């Protein structure tokens, strides 16, 4: 057991708060440690913020520890209190379906074989068997209202017009129960989570101390931020999801590729398994040749491979190059092309022959505000169809211009893109 794993996590910026750090270092040194992190099914997919926790589970596993990945079939029915107001309670069948989807997203990122095999657990397995009397007598008696009311989210909600329901107020008790139950079933002595979960993590540590007379540990990872102060994990089109049906592999790849030069080296520490030396080399290359965006390319490749696989990452990288003229659009397979153009402005064509003038397509797709502006841009030589410059002001798209019989890509200048999509009658 490496004594340095806690410090290695700290170097990557993955330790925000912890119980006694020296005691935790000794605990790792005496390991292996069984540890867990919970993921509530509050949506049909995890998002990239959840990757911080999943990859932290994996790092600890690679250091010779036993991970438990908990998907909250029970706590997902309740909902962790938000700062802004009461959550809607989702239908049990919906939550159960989301549990299965989230399990499938986590499983490929952990190793379920070997000496340090991971386990997937669901807190509905034990919570559904617990009566209200058992919960109040066996768990509730160890909690003090003064501590529960002092939690930041609870205090803020109590001071708001919305208040807080007993249902959401009780969430912290259920999460603490999870830690105690995993301690009893699997010898789990460490819980990790995001920094907004610190109070809930401490609740579990205290419950194990009071109910079991044993020491447990916890640490949180910081909430990831961006150098410009905007929220990480959001784009103009919304949350970046892990599910490829909700965020395409191309859009996922582009999200990482578009990160700020100031952020990319730090994100390499958090979201990739590259060594300190490799990250230092990439950061140095980025400082010397910023136009090459070495950190962003490594980041986009690594995280897309981790999440969607090597084939999807290659398709996204090839599509990114081809869309902006550095590769052949015709060489992209149908899925990669469809993923790449999914978020672009689109001009649908429903003619049986697929014909539409380039001028009309520029205006219909929104690349130009009017047909007159489209003619001027075309006359200046600034329009490309499938990466080929359009010289004829009266050019008309033909059926053969639609790649895979479906898409024709228009580009104005170097970076402004749209797609003409053929929908045959």
Tell me if 198 sits within 8 A of 206, measured CB to CB: no
pLDDT at res. 352: 56
pLDDT at res. 354: 57
* Nearest C-alpha neighbor of 184 from the set 121, 128, 137: 121
The model's pLDDT over 93-115, given as tens digits with 9 standing for 90+, comes to 999 999 999 999 999 999 999 99
HSE at residue 85, side-chain half, CA atoms within 13 A, is 3
* 369 and 329 part of one domain: no
* 327 and 352 part of one domain: no
Residue 221 sits at φ, ψ, to 5 deg, of -95, 150
Is residue 216 situated within a structural domain?
yes
Both structure tokens of 29: 């040194």
The model's pLDDT over 204-252, given as tens digits with 9 standing for 90+, comes to 999 999 999 999 999 999 999 888 877 788 777 789 999 999 999 999 9
* 178 and 36 part of one domain: yes
Is residue 210 situated within a structural domain?
yes
Domain containing residue 86: CATH number: 3.40.50.620
User: How far is the C-alpha of 297 from the C-alpha of 311, rounded, in Å?
Assistant: 16
Domain containing residue 393: CATH number: 3.10.290.10
Out of 194, 221, 248, a domain closes at 221
* 87 and 214 part of one domain: yes
User: How far is the C-alpha of 297 from the C-alpha of 274, rounded, in Å?
Assistant: 13
270: three-class secondary structure by DSSP: helix
* 353 and 296 part of one domain: no
Domain containing residue 326: CATH number: 1.10.240.10
Tell me if 216 sits within 8 A of 189, measured CB to CB: yes
Is residue 227 situated within a structural domain?
no
State how beta strands 383-385 and 407-412 pair: antiparallel
Is residue 328 situated within a structural domain?
yes
Whole-structure pTM value? 0.88
* 264 and 389 part of one domain: no
* 252 and 302 part of one domain: yes
* 382 and 308 part of one domain: no
Based on the structure, what is the number of domains in the chain?
Answer: 3
User: How far is the C-alpha of 132 from the C-alpha of 174, rounded, in Å?
Assistant: 12
* 127 and 74 part of one domain: yes
Domain that holds residue 303: 234-334
Is residue 229 situated within a structural domain?
no
If you ran DSSP here, which 8-state letter would residue 332 be given?
S
Both structure tokens of 38: 């919970």
Out of 192, 221, 250, a domain closes at 221
pLDDT at res. 1: 37
Is residue 120 situated within a structural domain?
yes
pLDDT block averages, 10 residues each, the chain of length 425: 78 96 94 95 94 97 97 92 83 95 96 96 95 92 87 85 86 94 98 94 96 96 86 80 93 93 95 96 94 94 97 90 82 86 83 74 88 88 89 86 89 87 72
* 47 and 126 part of one domain: yes
Out of 334, 365, 382, a domain closes at 334
Both structure tokens of 299: 């980041």
**Distances in whole angstroms, Cα of residue 338 to Cα of each of 97, 248, 342, 405:** 27, 9, 6, 12
pLDDT at res. 156: 86
End-to-end CA, the chain: 65
- Cis preceding-peptide flag for 32 (omega within 30 of 0): yes
* 135 and 243 part of one domain: no
pLDDT at res. 398: 85
Angle between the N-to-C axes of helices 48-62 and 294-308, in degrees from 0 to 180, rounded to the nearest 10: 80
Strand blocks (E) in 45-196: 66-71, 119-122, 190-194
Tell me if 38 sits within 8 A of 127, measured CB to CB: no
pLDDT at res. 2: 44
pLDDT at res. 424: 62
Is residue 154 situated within a structural domain?
yes
- With b for 16 or more beta-carbon neighbours within 10 A and e for fewer, the 103-128 pattern comes to bebbeebbeeeeebebbbbbbbebbe
Is residue 375 situated within a structural domain?
yes
* 215 and 246 part of one domain: no
């Amino acid at each position: 057991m490496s004594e340095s794993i806690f410090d290695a996590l700290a170097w990557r910026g993955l330790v925000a708060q912890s119980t006694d750090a020296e005691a935790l270092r000794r605990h790792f040194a005496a390991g292996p440690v069984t540890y867990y992190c919970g993921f509530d099914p509050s949506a049909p997919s995890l998002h990239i913020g959840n990757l911080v926790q999943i990859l932290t589970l994996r790092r600890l596993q690679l250091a010779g520890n036993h991970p438990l990945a908990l998907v909250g079939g029970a706590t997902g029915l309740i909902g962790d209190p938000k700062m802004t107001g009461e959550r809607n309670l989702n239908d049990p069948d919906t939550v159960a379906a989301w549990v299965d989807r989230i399990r499938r997203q986590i499983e490929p990122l952990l190793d379920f074989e070997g000496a340090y095999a991971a386990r997937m657990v669901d807190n509905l397995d034990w919570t559904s068997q617990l009566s209200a009397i058992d919960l109040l007598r066996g768990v509730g008696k160890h909690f003090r209202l003064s501590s529960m009311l002092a939690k930041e989210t609870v205090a803020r909600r109590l001071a708001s017009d919305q208040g807080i329901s007993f249902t959401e107020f009780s969430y912290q008790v259920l999460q603490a129960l999870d830690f105690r139950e995993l301690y009893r079933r699997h010898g789990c002595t460490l819980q990790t989570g995001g920094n907004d979960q610190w109070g809930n993590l401490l609740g579990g540590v205290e419950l194990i101390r009071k109910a079991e007379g044993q020491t447990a540990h916890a640490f949180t990872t910081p909430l990831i931020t961006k150098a410009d102060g905007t929220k990480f994990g959001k784009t103009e089109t919304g949350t970046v999801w892990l599910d490829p049906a909700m965020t395409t592999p191309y859009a996922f790849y582009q999200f990482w590729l578009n990160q700020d030069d100031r952020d990319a080296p730090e994100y390499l520490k958090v979201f990739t398994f590259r060594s300190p030396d490799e990250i230092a080399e990439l950061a140095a290359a980025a400082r010397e040749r910023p136009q090459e965006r070495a950190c962003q390319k490594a980041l986009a490749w690594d995280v897309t491979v981790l999440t969607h696989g090597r084939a999807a990452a290659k398709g996204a990288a090839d599509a990114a190059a081809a869309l902006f003229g550095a590769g052949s659009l015709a060489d992209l397979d149908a899925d990669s092309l469809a993923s790449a153009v999914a978020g672009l402005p689109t001009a649908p064509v429903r003619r049986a022959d697929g014909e539409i003038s380039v001028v009309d397509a520029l205006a219909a797709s929104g690349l130009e505000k009017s047909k007159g502006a489209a003619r001027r841009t075309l006359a200046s030589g600034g329009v490309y169809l499938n990466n080929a410059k359009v010289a004829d002001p009266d050019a008309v798209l033909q059926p053969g211009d639609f790649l895979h019989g479906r898409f024709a890509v228009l580009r104005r200048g170097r970076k402004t893109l749209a797609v003409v999509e053929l929908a045959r009658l």
